[in-house]
Amino acid sequence: MRIVSLLPSATDMIYELELFDSLVGVSEDCNWPPQVKDKPLVARNRIDLSGLSAAQIDEIVSGSKSETHSLYSVDADLMSELHPDIVITQDLCEVCAVSSGDLSTACPIGVEVYSMNPRSLADVIESVVALANRLGVPGQGEGVARAMKAKIQGVRDAVAGRPRPRVFVAEWMDPPYGSGHWLPEMVEAAGGTNVLSKPGEYSFRTTWEAVLAEKPDLVVLAACGFSLDQSLQRMQDLRLPVRTVVVDGDAHFSRPAPRVADGIRQLGHLIHPDVVPDPGLPFAELTPAPT
């Protein structure tokens, strides 16, 4: 089977399902595993965000959504040359990855477009199984799902019965966005009490004043689509009067793929370091503002 993945989470899953050799094309946002850089780029970002501040990126992205302009350009000629049997995309967030709407004129006639749209933590795990079934490797899918569940349950067991500190996870920083979809469940699984947002809902714009009014014990900055270094470049001056930790939001939080289980382990360690071992994922603590 020849697979084109325009969805970073699906590319992660394809690697875990041991189907990486069947992957013939990807989008520019697909960055895991590292060797994915050698795959042909079927979709590219229309806007270079590398030199922009968080506020400038939010303005551009919000404007693109309101004007219904896609942030991605799909190479129809390359898509045709690659002769994929299946193209994997999503419709959950037009900002995060190429959507099925972007493929309306770029996909060869007759090619299956498979859309993945998980909203909850259970959905993320089930999407691995569903994709594996569709790609003809159900056994691998069940194995990856079991491994994810075991990691998550290990954290749940470790923090059971302990106090649950109040935690706010920000999916963006200027302005702050409250976390949505599966992230509130990640906090709960890690032994915290998630504040401001609810499981399964979309992320939303808020203010740091509103966040601090909830009296969080911990603020986790997990910027959607950004690595730790990319996030730190844009929040060096942020100082909150509460413990504030920056993590790799792209790899372990905002991307609905097997590595969210590792994100839960990291959250568990940040919230309850005495009972949840450090999984070794990168993070950085910001200097707090004086209280």
Tell me what pLDDT residue 101 has.
54
Helix residue ranges per DSSP H, the chain: 8-16, 54-66, 76-82, 121-134, 138-159, 183-189, 208-213, 228-233, 249-252, 260-271
For residue 90, the 8-state DSSP code is: B
Question: pTM value?
Answer: 0.90
- Alpha carbons within 13 angstroms on the beta-carbon side of residue 289 total 11
For residue 178, the 8-state DSSP code is: E
Render pLDDT for 59-103 as a digit per residue (tens, 0 to 9). 776 665 544 445 678 888 899 999 999 999 987 545 454 545 555
What ranges do the domains of the chain cover?
Answer: 3-117, 162-286
Question: Is the per-residue pLDDT at 270 higher than 80?
Answer: yes
CA distance 119 to 141: 19
Q: Which residue has the tokens 């799909």?
A: 74
Nearest alpha-carbon partner for 195 in 173, 210, 182, 174: 210
Looking at CATH, the fold of the domain delimited by 3-117 is given as Rossmann fold (3.40.50)
The interaxial angle of helices 260-271 and 138-159, nearest 10 deg, is: 10
Render pLDDT for 160-208 as a digit per residue (tens, 0 to 9). 999 999 999 999 998 999 999 999 999 999 999 999 999 999 899 999 9
Task: Tell me if residue 244 falls in helix, strand or coil.
Answer: strand
Q: Which residue has the tokens 């229309």?
A: 46
User: What's the CATH code, domain 162-286?
Assistant: 3.40.50.1980
